[in-house]
Amino acid sequence: MQRIFNFSAGPSTLPTDVLIEAQAELVNYKGLGLSIMEDSHRSKAYDAIHHEAMDNLRALLNLSTEYEVLFLTGGATGQFAMVPLNLLGPGQTADYTNSGAWAAKAIKEAQVIGKVNVIANCGKEIPTRVPRMEELTFTPDAAYVHITSNETISGAQWPSFPETKAPLVADMSSDILSRPIDVSPFGLIYAGAQKNLGPAGVTVVILRKDLAERVPDSVPLFYRYKTHMEANSLYNTPPCFPIYMLALVTRWLRAQGGVEAMAAVNRRKADKLYEAIDASEFYQGTALPEFRSTMNVTFRLPSEELEARFVKEAAQQGMSGLKGHRSVGGIRASIYNAMPEAGVDALINFMQAFAKDNG
């Protein structure tokens, strides 16, 4: 079967080798006579998967013993509430940066729970970007500082992270494991799986253990990080199959050479695609060059009619998911870890031919 190149922002493309392995094991997992989807989350077989996924993440992120890996549900959207529920105490203020649609959603949810100070707001600027370091004025004694490391809709990404006295909290849903990072400045990192980690259904939380003690007594047990930390993410039945897929994806990533090797490939993919955009007056990038995302490349054509034709004709040539988010329009090519370089090359060739025919 011929697979297409899936440029969707999420759920996104998965490594073909991972899909083939999951397919082979789907009905009869390692000779047990049942699928891992049917097995108990307390079984030895699932326990091995659960711990491999955690161990792979620890290795790929170079996590110290100060940090816990949690497998939760609800996506990043659930974390928009869970973060302030656990970390924002009575009378405290949390600092948030607004860099776009997803940061704005995180701010809106946190404001329901406690006091929020938006310390920088460039969420509606065109061309899109994230805040510059000199724009950040932190609240003294802030409970934490929240950023969105990569805005999937706008295609803007933090090239480096701010230095903060308060714990730094980041939504890394769309660029986790795409580039090396120093985790030590972060108090908490969270990521929905459906971009770089696996299928939708599991949310990864990297938590500095001491922060789990902050949770107010008024927070229900299920919504406390401490509850899931003490139960090894087995307080309730976890999303076993997405965690199994996460284990396979992170195993695949380690086999590719880890985050450092993947970052080199991602940089090369992004650079050649941006070069193709900049080389033609027909295409216009929508993010400021210094903040361009390596994961979500966004651009416009001369008209919405041409953009619709571009998406339709690209699909006819085996490239799907290129339509920009409904809130902004345009074109978006999501080139996560699992997008092969051949897919980017195919897109560039199509772009050049389309511009020649329609320019």
Active site residues: 102, 171, 195
Q: Is residue 351 helix, strand or coil? A: helix
Q: Give dist(CA 146, CA 152) in Å, integer.
A: 16
For tokens 């950040």, name the residue: 136
Quick one: which of 95, 113, 102 has its CA closest to 191? Answer: 102
CB 114 within 8 A of CB 91: no
CB 338 within 8 A of CB 331: no
Q: Give dist(CA 320, CA 322) in Å, integer.
A: 6
Order of strands, sheet of 168-171, starting from the edge strand that comes earlier in the sequence: 67-72, 203-208, 186-192, 168-171, 145-148, 93-98, 115-121
CB atoms within 10 A of CB 43: 14
